Amino acid sequence: MTQDEAIEWVAKVFESSHGQLTPDTHRDNVPAWDSLGVLTLMASLDSEFGIVLTDDDVQAIKTVGDILDIMQRHGKLI
């Protein structure tokens, strides 16, 4: 998956349009990135990519780029 495809995937998870998100987009600027959104993200990463987030991972995610970094660490980004 390319970075653009991953950003598009993140946008779908948070019900945002792809053009609204960049790697620098902070969670405070994404309305659906609330506690329910975090659970949705965790479930989606697990079901679609086999990525299980640790508590430390969840606490460290502040931007879209942080999600991309996790995906890259697990070999899901080219």
Q: Which H or E run contains 37? A: helix 35-49
In this predicted model, what pLDDT tens digit does every residue of 3-44 receive, in sequence order? Answer: 999 999 999 999 998 789 999 999 999 999 999 999 999 999
Q: Supply the pLDDT for residue 17.
A: 83
Band of residue 61 on the pLDDT scale cut at 50, 70, 90: very high
Whether 70 contacts 57, CB under 8 Å: yes
Whether 78 shows a pLDDT value over 90: the answer reads no
C-beta neighbour count of 73 within 10 angstroms: 11
Cross-strand partners of 63: 26
Tally of CA atoms within 13 A in the half-sphere of 70 that contains its CB: 23
What's the pLDDT at 48?
97
